Structure 1
Amino acid sequence: MEKGVENLLEMLFEFHGHKCPAAPLGLRAGLAAMKRLGVERAANKELYCICETGSAHATMCFVDGVQVATGCTFGKSNIEKTEFCKNAITLIDVKRKKAVRVALNPEFQKKGLQSEFVRLRASGVEPQNIAPEIVNPLIDNIMRQPDEVLFKISDVFDYDFKQRKGTFKWYECEECGEIVFEHGVRLKDGRKVCCGCYEKE
């Protein structure tokens, strides 16, 4: 494993909180997408990622690996999740308006979903309580496989991405007094309020 990738893997597990197979698969997916696009990790908003992971299923950890690899993070608002419940991403080069889609190879994923790790998770065992001798070989296997074994990678295609402009304009909610940026301001009885106060009866 290259030193840079090894460092990212260490960063991933520290950020993610536990070892599991899905997070390094997300890391590899992000790296594969960047390689195909010919781009570097986003320092700010040079890239935008659409992650199809969704929620409430066995491999949601995938998205944390994608964030670490690409630099597309929820804090920078250059990543979004759809509810497709798939391990796939579309990575967009914002300036060039080019994109690539990377999806987990179904044959590889099926083998992973039949692993002892997933069986234990399905029985209610927390990931941090699964023995290293079960999880570490899965991670090692993921990190040494070539991209074409792990993923289906599209050709680069045009993507007319329109970035939402950030704002520095803010208001004080006239009901709760908290600061709210203009995208979240609503009018209620002629007063500028936040979304939470707007929804109150």
Structure 2
Amino acid sequence: MEQPQASDLFDRIYRRHGHYCPMSTLGGRLGLAARGQFPEECSPDELRAVYHTDTCAVDGIEEAAGVSRERGTLVVREERRHCLRLVRRSDGHGVEVELGAAALARAGEYRRLSDQLELLRPNLPAAEVAARQQVLDGLLEELRRAGEAELFSLRQVVEKTEVTDA
């Protein structure tokens, strides 16, 4: 079931990202799932995130998990893995959330249909454009509402932490 704040969250993601997009949607889902593994009182600045590919998902992750490249709480590596690792700086405890093949296939289908619509749009009647857009909107809604197990795997992780004298 969609979390109460999720509708507003996805509106913020799409505004930040500049367009409706399956990968920013999935990034939001990854960020929500990972952030949900920590108590609410845990500040995003207490967390460190790594996302293993530079895609549209980063905007969704930043918005949903509260981490940021700008603040140095999110690092993006180009390893071509749709995997988010989020850990607490103090003890290295965290979670790794990775998109599954079904989620990536849905995103690919959205991209294919979206590209096709943009190519054909000038020659389509308005009703056909609206019908095709409705299909795209439905795919995004599916990604927002799908069960976590349908989209990604989640596992607990522990990273070594450095001890420093303050």
Does the TM-score normalized on the shorter chain lie above 0.5? yes
Q: Give the Cα–Cα distance (whole angstroms) in 2 for the partners of residues 94 and 30 of structure 1.
A: 17
Aligned to 2:122: none
TM superposition shift of 1:120:
5.0
Structure with the higher fraction of residues in helix conformation: 2
Alignment of structure 1 residues 1-201 onto 2, 5 Å:
1-35=2-36, 37-40=37-40, 43=43, 45-54=45-54, 60-113=55-108, 115=109, 117-120=110-113, 125=118, 132-154=133-155, 156-162=156-162
Number of matched pairs: 152
- Deviations for 1:132-180, whole angstroms, at most 9, x for unmatched residues? 32421111001111111110111x22112459xxxxxxxxxxxxxxxxx
Cα RMSD, aligned residues only: 2.7
Which one-letter code corresponds to 1:159 in the other structure? Answer: E
Equivalent in the alignment of 1:185: none
Change (3 A) 1:109 1:122: same
Report if aligned partners of 1:20, 1:135 keep a CA contact under 8 Å in 2. Answer: no
Which is greater in Rg? Answer: 1
TM-score by length of 2: 0.79
Q: What 5-or-longer segments of structure 1 have no aligned partner?
A: 55-59, 164-201
Distance 1:10 1:82 in 2: 26
Check conservation: 1:53, 1:83, Cα contact below 8 A: yes
Q: What is the one-letter code of the residue matched to 1:108?
A: A
Q: TM-score, normalised by structure 1?
A: 0.66
Unaligned runs of 5+ in 2: 120-128
Mapped to 2, the partners of 1:70 and 1:10 lie a distance apart of 15
Q: Any idea what the Cα deviations from partners look like across 1:52-109, whole Å, max 9, x if unmatched?
A: 123xxxxx11111000011111121110111112211101111232021110011332
**Bigger RCO (CA 8 Å, 6+ sep):** 2
CA distance in 2, matches of 1:99, 1:78: 14
CA drift of 1:28 comes to: 0.5
1:9–1:24 Cα contact (<8 Å) kept: yes
Change (3 A) 1:111 1:6: closer
Task: Report % sequence identity.
Answer: 23
